[in-house]
């Protein structure tokens, strides 16, 4: 698996050398989706990911995230797929349909491929709300890119624990607040 056997899902989790993570990034409002990608990348590198082991694929919009994520998740050398996009509310309910389709699509990809697929799709009423969510914490934002990367590391840790159990090992989980 992609997590060091001595790591936990906490802040000190370390990814094993050779871990490969993919990111699918919508080019719609690339200033925001790109900012989330950069924050996620920085966190993953802090957790031990080699920058060369981050595969980035661009999507024209959010609706295309699932098909690209699926192709990446099917690869044996990809341990997790992070997806970043933005759906803004408009005058119609179009945003709800797109966001729902993407959420269901990414969930299906994860379950069908047994590969973590992380949901970094901002769904906001305004561009200002999206900007606040995409900005790093140090810039006064909610840093959703880092949040997605942290979730990826945590899911990989959980999968590592399950694999250890499947091999007859024991697992001790600690929940820290």
CA 6, 11, 12, 18 torsion: positive or negative?
A: positive
64 is in an annotated binding site: yes
49 is in an annotated binding site: no
119 is in an annotated binding site: yes
106 is in an annotated binding site: no
> Does 94 qualify as catalytic in the annotation?
yes
84 is in an annotated binding site: no
The Cα–Cα gap between 36 and 148 comes to 9
Q: Which of 43, 79, 94, 104 is catalytic?
A: 94
The Cα–Cα gap between 141 and 68 comes to 28
**Cβ partners under 8 Å of residue 13, min gap 6:** 3, 4, 7, 47, 153, 154, 157
113 is in an annotated binding site: no
What are the binding residues? 28, 62-64, 86-88, 91-92, 119, 133
What are the binding residues for 5-amino-6-(D-ribitylamino)uracil? 28, 62-64, 86-88, 119
Which residues belong to the active site? 94
What are the binding residues for (2S)-2-hydroxy-3-oxobutyl phosphate? 91-92, 133
């Amino acid at each position: 698996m992609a997590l060091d056997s001595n790591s936990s899902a906490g802040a000190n989790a370390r990814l094993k050398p050779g871990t490969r993570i993919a990111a699918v990034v919508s080019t719609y409002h690339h200033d925001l989706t790109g900012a989330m990608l950069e924050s996620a990348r920085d966190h993953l590198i802090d957790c031990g990911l080699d920058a060369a082991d981050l595969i980035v694929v661009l999507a024209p919009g959010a609706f295309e995230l699932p098909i690209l994520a699926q192709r990446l998740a099917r690869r044996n050398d990809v341990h997790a797929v992070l997806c970043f996009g933005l759906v803004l509310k408009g005058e119609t309910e179009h945003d709800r349909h797109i966001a729902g389709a993407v959420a269901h699509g990414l969930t299906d990809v994860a379950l069908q491929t047994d590969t973590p697929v992380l949901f970094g799709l901002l769904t906001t009423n305004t561009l200002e709300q999206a900007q606040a969510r995409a900005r790093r914490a140090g810039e006064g934002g909610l840093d959703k890119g880092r949040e997605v990367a942290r979730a990826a590391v945590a899911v990989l840790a959980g999968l590592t624990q399950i694999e250890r159990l499947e091999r007859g090992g024991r697992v001790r989980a600690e929940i820290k607040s």
